[in-house]
Amino acid sequence: LDYQHVQVPFEITLWIMLASLAKIGFHLYNKLPSVVPESCLLIFVGLIMGGIIYGLNDRSPPVMDSDIFFLYLLPPIVLDAGYFMPSRPFFENIGTILLYAVVGTIWNVFGIGFSLYGICQVKAFRLQDVSLLHNLLFGSLIAAVDPVAVLAVFEEIHVNEKLHILVFGESLLNDAVTVVLYKLFRSFCEMPTIKSVDVFAGVGKFFVVGLGGVLVGLSFGFTAAFTTRFTKDIRVIEPLFVFLYSYLSYLTAEMFHLSGIVAIISCAMGMKRYVEANISLKSHTTVKYFMKMWSSVSDTLIFIFLGVSTIGENHEWNWPYICFTVIFCLIWRALGVLVLTFFVNRFHVNTITSKDQFIIAYGGLRGAICFSLVFLLPDFHRKKLFIAATTVVILFTVFVQGMTIRPLVDLLAVKRKRESAPTVGEQIHIRFLDHLLAGIEDISGHWGQYYWKDKLEYFNSKYLQKILLREYDQPKSSIVLLYEKLERKHAIELAQAGQLGHGPAHPSFLCSAFLCSSSDRTVITDQKLEETPNPDVLDNMQEILARNLYRIRRTGPAYSRHTLPGDSEPTEQAKEILILRHKNL
Amino acid sequence: LDYQHVQVPFEITLWIMLASLAKIGFHLYNKLPSVVPESCLLIFVGLIMGGIIYGLNDRSPPVMDSDIFFLYLLPPIVLDAGYFMPSRPFFENIGTILLYAVVGTIWNVFGIGFSLYGICQVKAFRLQDVSLLHNLLFGSLIAAVDPVAVLAVFEEIHVNEKLHILVFGESLLNDAVTVVLYKLFRSFCEMPTIKSVDVFAGVGKFFVVGLGGVLVGLSFGFTAAFTTRFTKDIRVIEPLFVFLYSYLSYLTAEMFHLSGIVAIISCAMGMKRYVEANISLKSHTTVKYFMKMWSSVSDTLIFIFLGVSTIGENHEWNWPYICFTVIFCLIWRALGVLVLTFFVNRFHVNTITSKDQFIIAYGGLRGAICFSLVFLLPDFHRKKLFIAATTVVILFTVFVQGMTIRPLVDLLAVKRKRESAPTVGEQIHIRFLDHLLAGIEDISGHWGQYYWKDKLEYFNSKYLQKILLREYDQPKSSIVLLYEKLERKHAIELAQAGQLGHGPAHPSFLCSAFLCSSSDRTVITDQKLEETPNPDVLDNMQEILARNLYRIRRTGPAYSRHTLPGDSEPTEQAKEILILRHKNL
């Protein structure tokens, strides 16, 4: 037996296997995951595992290595989040998200830090040796909302898209703030005296870390898109580039002490559009599938490790400090959300309701990032106290808040996510209004989001697409592409039902039959068709209209991290379309 | 700048990136890969890289770590080879393959070992300090044909399936022999005296190592199939199990000193059938795509590393020893193939021609496995000589033999692979003959391969399928499945051409039209249809017949490691079918 030789890959494989089997186990009992979030179950499995290891070895089980977490487990989750990020709600709310992520996080850090310092001054608690700087350092690591925990919980409760993107976007973008503040306080702790210059340098660093991350991410993203221009003959390695470049962007950002999370998200969002157009359909399926798979496994492993690492003798228990940490985390987040939302609502027509505010505050879950950061702290005599407090905060937020948020959402009747994506009619109107608003903003001289969006789109079609896309001709509009996708699905449905039409569907006959059946709705279009006999335009029009006749068609379910779009789509839909078609003729 | 922190993943990612970009580079110039095999180009890139590293650092570039090779680079390639192994030709020639792999390899080991020992006795060469055991040890690592090198070359020259499977199968299965002999001679080298018991134990080990590998592989394969029964609700992690279980089988086998290559191949071949039936279509696409991608990258990295490791000061140059090694490798392989084929041909009707024998002998390429094994040798004063000789043999076989084998195949007019897979008509006949031969063997009491195949199929459908498949009802025959697949593709083609029939293709009308058009061929079937009005049977018949009407339809291109089936298939085919269909009506 030669275990040493294969130990590393063997144990990694076994852990992944355990994680996957645990997932299968939960889903075998359908009722369990609908009551308890999967993250709680996984931590529970981890606790049991940790207990077994502790019992057998009689020493603390290994804690999750911070390097493994930041270098191998976190990137797949963030990549997945960035790649499947719904860009419209994200950019529509970018101002609010940034406000929560930057100002909100700073507010929380200083609020928690100073109030814990206040607690430390109470002599009865025996905490007078914890300095203000150490409290602020602790505040900087405990304040940040965790994207992994937020995703795990919010995906299951299906709140409306705006609410989701506000909490989720905040949890992603606060990474830049956390990185800066954490490193700042850590270096302050080691400095003998702090000059005011250092404080100003810290403020300047925010911009460097955040914008630097965006820059690194975008440059790698565009390089990735450019590389996939040349993969036509070796389709098989196309998916690799998506993963390699995004991972490189993360590592490069980390190397220069920039925000890796921000970098990988910018990379994914920057490349997505061009890569999708360049690579083959099968490559794209593989990319999407593997991203989901990887992030799902990483996420599972993180929660299991979190459970395992909790067991052991790393903790120093001090009731007041730990209890007050939990209380302050809740209070300062609630206050922060209230105050910030007050300002946000003054400048927006579409306000954030008080129910939404409550869910934003309540959804501020902490997770593995805090946990890894607290283990990365330099050794000092109260480190074990901080570890204990962090563990309690994480378990409290994941278990108590995570398990009660769903009943609360039900109770408060928070606006839910609409189950179906907008119809094409709606999409056309939205696009029309976008153009209109861009025009209004241009005329009125108000350079708002629509103006910039329009400019960006112009720049994209004028320069970027020519460089980054392989076949650059007039690109098809997304609606036409959607129609093609639906038509393909419909054809597959027909083939599976064994009803593929063998009759020669003569175009003109088809066309007239189609126009006849939809005559009541297409009067205007008909006239337009007569004026513009351009066959391309005509085809597109027909496609758009044909699409619009069935209101129930969806453009794919709204984003969720553990399913692939189209996977859960009911087959009834396609059959319904088939029946409607037959009736039309 | 914090390079230390990200060094390991960063450098791994960069190497993979280099490999992928090199692949893109070669394919940009279409003419290059058609003259020089990709493996040569990659070694060449590696040599340049190694030269640069050597020039900059002024010390030998790092050699390929044997652990990295055996634990991380080799498994994906072997998994891919096993998963896409054409099982019929493999099992039809299993006897010949085993003969080449076991007897042939032993022959080569002793042949090369003893004759090199003879060379060492010549005083002028100054090699008298190399003992017989060391020569045999060297023989055991240099004798084995390398699957990676064979795949890389044979995939590009498209020889007939039997010839391919003989060389490729041998290169895979000789691993068991190599492992045993290499370890045996290595331990003999360290022993003071060798007892005859040890020699017999070595012979017994062959069976343990080989059959143990098969056993480990099959048990993991069936466990994998069993696991995928329960993944219906979490499709996204399905592909993971295929990779995890096969990798575990490899690691477990290596742990117990069994043949990891044999284990992973058995695992892949054992699970394939059941896993494919259990997992979703998208999961299966991902599995296939990722396997291809991974093996392609591994393969690229291996050849680049081979090039890099060649540069440096690890070599001791001794002209006679190195030249005679190359010569003996060629001579003993040629003799071995001649002798063994003489016996094989005596017992087979379908003989191996002398042209085929030449290609089998000439295709005995050495590669990275020899290279890794020679670096694993315990330190002794002539290790550098062995490294030099191994490097020369590898470069000679890959460059000289690899580059000349294609012109030789053309020159000798060796029978090529048929470009199209057998038609359904042929497939039906083959299956019919299989049943017939199984019956004949059963009656005559001769338990040959058809008898055992029949028994295995019975056992499979009676027990294995019930345990391992999720939805166990009467499984569809592969021909019906094929028809469904083709119909699906056809539908997609129709949709893309915008000609999807909207008319309600009435089944009875369709049926009559169909039977009418093919009346000349279906007289017998028609009668049979009247006798058996079972609608299921009728549907299947029609499907089979409809399939058979177009001779040009292919079941997918024959196996190749770098393309996915169906990826390169011309779209003309589907259009032709469409036109024929229209004509029929």
| B69 vs B261: CA distance, rounded Å | 13
Sign of torsion over alpha carbons A303, A304, A309, A311 = positive
Nearest-angstrom CA–CA distance, B559 and A197: 67
For residues A375 and A66, the answer to whether their CB atoms sit within 8 Å is: yes
Which of B23, B282, B490 is the closest to A289 by Cβ? B282
Chain B: residue nearest A563 by CA? Answer: B236
What pLDDT, in 10s, does the model give residues A135-171? 999 999 898 898 888 888 888 888 888 888 999 999 9
B508-546: per-residue pLDDT in tens?
Answer: 333 333 333 333 333 333 333 333 345 565 566 555 555
Closest residue by Cα to residue B255 from A57, A9, A21: A9
Mean pLDDT, residues A126-133 taken together? 83
Q: Do B487 and A495 touch (CB under 8 A)?
A: yes
Cβ contact B496–A502 (<8 Å): no
Q: What's the rounded Cα separation, in Å, for the pair A389 and A370?
A: 11
Q: Say which DSSP state A159 is in.
A: B
Q: Under DSSP, is residue B465 helix (H, G, I), strand (E, B) or coil?
A: helix
The answer to whether the Cβ–Cβ distance between B502 and A584 falls below 8 Å is: yes
Using a CB-CB cut-off of 8 Å, the residues of chain A touching B283 are: 289
Distance from CA of A279 to the nearest CA of B (A): 13
Listed residue (A222, A215, A194) closest to A278, CA to CA: A222
Nearest chain A residue to B294 by CA: give it: A237
CA distances from B193 to A325, A489, B128, B382 (A): 71, 72, 20, 21
Cβ A255–B24 below 8 Å, yes or no? no
Q: Find out whether B167 and B153 touch, Cβ atoms under 8 Å.
A: no
pLDDT of residue B341: 92
Lowest-pLDDT choice from A48-62, A343-357, A512-526, B437-451? A512-526
The pLDDT of residue B237: 86
What length is written for chain A?
585
C-alpha span between B251 and A6 (Å, rounded)? 6
CA pair distance A365, A152, nearest whole angstrom? 10
N-terminal to C-terminal alpha carbon distance within chain A: 72
In A, which residues are within 8 Å of B257 by CB distance?
A: 2
Which of A27, A234, A514 lies at the smallest CB-CB distance from B24? A234
What confidence score (pLDDT) does residue A513 get?
Answer: 35
Quote the CA–CA distance of A187 and B103 in Å, as a whole number.
68
> Which token pair is B401?
């033999």
CB contact under 8 A, B234 and A27: yes
Using the 8-state DSSP alphabet, how is residue A416 labeled?
B
Contact B236 A564 (CB under 8 A): yes
d(CA B297, CA B307): 15
Q: Does the beta-carbon distance from A491 to B487 stay under 8 Å? A: no
Q: Which uninterrupted H or E stretch holds A225?
A: helix A196-227
Model pLDDT for residues A195-226, shown as the tens digit of each residue: 777 778 877 888 888 899 999 999 999 999 99
Residues A118 and A480: beta-carbon distance below 8 Å: no
pLDDT band at B243 (very low <50, low <70, confident <90, very high): very high
- How many beta carbons lie within 10 A of that of residue A127, not counting itself? 20
Of the CA atoms within 13 Å of residue B190, those in its CB half-sphere come to 8
What are the phi and psi torsion angles at B38 (to 5°)? -60, -35
> Amino acid identity of A368?
A
Nearest to A13 among B17, B247, B491 (CB): B247
What whole-number distance in Å separates Cα of residue B84 and Cα of residue B288?
9
Distance CA B370, CA B144 (A): 7
- Please report the pLDDT score of residue A85 as a whole number: 86
Which chain A residue is nearest to residue B227, measuring alpha carbons?
A: A21
| Calpha distance B15→A248 (Å, rounded) | 12
The pair of structure tokens assigned to B530 is: 């009247």
Nearest CB to A492 within list B20, B492, B564: B492
| Res. B578 pLDDT band, cuts 50 70 90 | low
Subunit contact A254:B17, Cβ cutoff 8 A = no
Distance CA A411, CA A409 (A): 5
Q: Do B255 and A562 touch (CB under 8 A)?
A: no
Distance CA B56, CA B47 (A): 14
Are the beta carbons of A585 and B504 separated by less than 8 Å?
Answer: yes
Enumerate the domain spans of chain B.
64-297+314-412, 424-471
What H or E segment, with its residue span, contains residue B529? helix B523-531
pLDDT tens sequence across B309-368 = 888 777 778 888 899 999 999 999 999 999 999 999 888 878 888 888 999 999 889 988
| DSSP secondary structure letters along A108-150 | HHHHHHHHHHHHHT-GGGT-TTS-HHHHHHHHHHHSSPPHHHH
Asked whether the beta carbons of residue A254 and residue B6 sit closer than 8 angstroms, the reply is yes
Place of tokens 């029609």: B542
Q: Burial-class residue A565 by CB neighbours within 10 Å (0-12, 13-18, 19+).
A: middle
- Please list every residue in chain A whose beta carbon sits closer than 8 Å to the beta carbon of residue B289: 236, 239, 282-283, 285-286
Nearest CA in chain B to A291: B236
Contact A117, A189 (CB under 8 A): no
Residues above pLDDT 70, as percent of chain B: 80
Please judge whether B244 and A13 are an interchain contact, meaning their C-beta atoms are less than 8 angstroms apart. Answer: yes
Q: According to the model, what pLDDT value does residue B309 have?
A: 84
Cβ–Cβ pairs < 8 A, chains A and B: 237
CA-CA-CA-CA torsion for B520, B521, B526, B529, nearest 10 degrees? -160
Coil/strand/helix, residue A290: helix
Asked if A282 and B499 come within 8 Å (Cβ–Cβ), the reply is no
Cβ neighbours of residue B359 closer than 8 Å, sequence gap 6 or more:
B159, B163, B167, B405, B408, B409, B412, B414
Q: From the candidates A68, A500, A517, A560, which should be mutated to test the interface with B, based on the most B CB atoms within 10 A?
A: A500
Query: What are the tokens at B361?
Result: 């002998």
Integer Cα distance of A237 and A279 in angstroms: 10
Predicted local confidence at residue A264, as pLDDT: 94
More confident residue, A484 or A556: A484
How far, rounded to the nearest angstrom, does the alpha carbon of residue A379 sit from its chain's CA centroid?
34
Residue range A503-527: mean pLDDT, rounded:
37
Q: Would you tell me which CATH number, out of the four given (3.40.50.2000, 3.40.50.720, 3.30.450.20, 1.20.1530.20), belongs to the domain A64-297+314-412?
A: 1.20.1530.20
pLDDT at residue A575, rounded to an integer: 58
Three-state DSSP class for B344? helix
Arithmetic mean of pLDDT, B249-267: 92
Torsion of Cα atoms, A18 then A24 then A27 then A28, to 10°? -110
Residue A108 pLDDT grade (very low, low, confident, very high; cuts 50, 70, 90): very high
For A228-248, write each residue's pLDDT tens digit: 888 887 888 888 999 999 999
pLDDT (mean) for B381-406: 89
pLDDT mean across residues, chain B: 79
Q: Which residues of B touch A285 (CB under 8 A)?
A: 282, 285-286, 289
Written as six digits, the tokens of A382 are 């109260």
B286/A293 Cβ within 8 A: yes
> Which residue of A26, A289, A480 to mutate against B (max B Cβ within 10 Å)?
A289
Long-range contacts at A122-127 (CB < 8 A, ≥ 24 apart):
A122/A320, A125/A318, A125/A320, A125/A321, A126/A318, A127/A318, A127/A320, A127/A321
Structure token pair of residue B364 = 């005995």
Res A508 pLDDT > 60: no
Residue B210 to chain A, least CA–CA distance (Å): 16
| Subunit contact A296:B251, Cβ cutoff 8 A | no
Residues in chain A within 8 Å Cβ distance of B23:
234, 237
Average pLDDT, chain A: 79
- A2/B255 touch (CB, cutoff 8 Å), yes or no: yes
Residue among B41, B84, B295, B502 with most chain A CBs within 10 A, to mutate: B502
Question: At B159, is the secondary structure helix, strand, or coil?
Answer: strand
Is the torsion defined by CA of A473, A477, A478, A484 positive or negative? negative
In the three-class reduction of DSSP (H, G, I as helix; E, B as strand; rest coil), residue A466 is classed as helix
Whether residues A3 and B255 touch (CB distance < 8 A) is answered with: yes
Closest of A69, A561, A38 to residue A291, by C-alpha:
A561
Q: What is the ipTM of this complex?
A: 0.77
- pLDDT for A571: 52
What is residue B473's predicted lDDT score, i.e. its pLDDT?
54
In chain B, residues with a C-beta closer than 8 Å to the C-beta of A248 are 10, 13-14, 17
Instruction: Please check whether residue A256 is in contact with residue A212, taking contact to mean a CB–CB distance below 8 angstroms.
Output: yes
Q: How confident is the model at residue B213, as a pLDDT?
A: 92
